[in-house]
Every structure is written in C-alpha cells, then in structure tokens.
Amino acid sequence: MATEPILAVLDAAEVQRRQRPCSFQRLSDYCRLTKPEVNFLIAVTTAAGFLDGCTCFACTLPWTSLLHALCGPY
C-alpha cells in the first residue's frame, strides 16, 4: 500500500515530461518539416536554369535578378 502513491507521482512526472518536448527537439521537428534538402535542390536548379537562359557574360550577369529569382520578389 505504501508504494501506490509513489508510483502515482512517478507516472505523473513521466506524463509531464512527454507533454513538453525540449526546445532542441522542437527545432529539429520544424527543420524536418521545412525539408531543407529539397529546398536546396530547388534553389540549385533555379540558379542553373537562370544561368542557362542568361545570354550575357559573367561580368554583366544580373545578380540582383538571380537573387530575386532565388529568394522571391523582395
């Protein structure tokens, strides 16, 4: 009988630990959701297509247009 309250306290502590994941785990989950590998490959193919379609030389390459194509309109 004396061990039942102790087990109840231990179980409550385990439940509280499971409900609050650590910040590193949460950051890791968000990183997994954004799929950085896929986004990197999309950026590389966008840059390759931009450079392939560009008819100017390397010294007059429109770097701001490339940056806008990779990052968005802003």
Average pLDDT over residues 4-18: 59
Q: In angstroms, rounded to a whole number, what is the distance separating the alpha carbons of residues 26 and 38? A: 20
Spell out the SS3 assignment of 51-74: HHHCCCCHHHCCHHHHHHHHHCCC
**pLDDT tens string 21-39:** 577 888 888 889 999 999 9
Q: Which helix (H) or strand (E) holds 25?
A: helix 23-34
Domain boundaries, the chain: 3-71
This prediction has a pTM of 0.56
Task: Tell me the average pLDDT of the chain.
Answer: 78
What number is the average pLDDT over the span 60-73?
84
Asked whether residue 3 carries a pLDDT value surpassing 60, the answer given is: no
Q: What is the mean pLDDT of residues 4-15?
A: 59
Residue 13 to residue 16: CA distance in whole angstroms: 5
